[in-house]
Amino acid sequence: MAFWLMKSEPDEASIDDLVRLGRLPWTGVRNYQARNFMRDAMQLGDGVLFYHSSCPQPGVAGLAEIASGTVPDETQFDPASPYFDPKSSRDAPRWLQLDVSLVRKTRLLPLAEMRTAPELATMQVLQRGNRLSITPVTAAEWRAVLKRLDRASA
């Protein structure tokens, strides 16, 4: 069992969308490192920190889990999609998607608070220059995030 942090822009897919639908296909990953995590490492049942990015209040907004294996990301074949990839083909799809299901919505754990927490300092999402939309989370970091989520917000 492994743990991951997955970034989503709430304008596109927010924790409330996941609450409403229970399950979301994670599409639009267009970075090879992140794709390789999906292809090689992410397993059914893995824990996910659902992170809101590029928004007024970035931070962890809920807990989810990996709910399917990978299949080709349909949006790469759709010329009307912003994620269309003209260099990809049905014969040799480049990009993958998988499903994520809700565990629970949490209080927002703001990025600013994460930055002040010494026990979270090793998290990849906090490292300088980090841009990856999917990053691995260690078991210790996972526990520390859960513990912090149990506290009242500042």
Partner DNA sequence: GCCAACGTTGGC
Interacting residues of 118 by C-beta distance below 8 A, sequence separation 6+:
none
Task: Using the minimum distance from each CB to DNA, give the nearer residue, 45 or 153.
Answer: 153
Task: Using the minimum distance from each CB to DNA, give the nearer residue, 33 or 138.
Answer: 33
Distance CA 25, CA 66 (A): 10
Task: Supply the minimum distance, in Å, between the C-beta of residue 128 and DNA.
Answer: 6
Task: Using the minimum distance from each CB to DNA, give the nearer residue, 45 or 89.
Answer: 89
Task: Supply the minimum distance, in Å, between the C-beta of residue 98 and DNA.
Answer: 18
Task: Supply the minimum distance, in Å, between the C-beta of residue 87 and DNA.
Answer: 7
- Can you state the percent helix, strand and coil of the chain, rounding each to 5? 30, 30, 40
Interacting residues of 91 by C-beta distance below 8 A, sequence separation 6+:
none
Task: Using the minimum distance from each CB to DNA, give the nearer residue, 7 or 46.
Answer: 7
Distance CA 59, CA 44 (A): 24
Task: Supply the minimum distance, in Å, between the C-beta of residue 129 and DNA.
Answer: 2
Task: Using the minimum distance from each CB to DNA, give the nearer residue, 9 or 119.
Answer: 9
**Which residues of this protein are in contact with DNA, per CB under 7 A?**
7, 9, 30-33, 53-55, 58, 87, 111-112, 115, 128-133
The neighbouring-strand residues paired with 3 are 47, 137
Interacting residues of 88 by C-beta distance below 8 A, sequence separation 6+:
76, 77, 94, 95
Task: Supply the minimum distance, in Å, between the C-beta of residue 138 and DNA.
Answer: 19
Start-to-end CA span in the chain (Å): 31
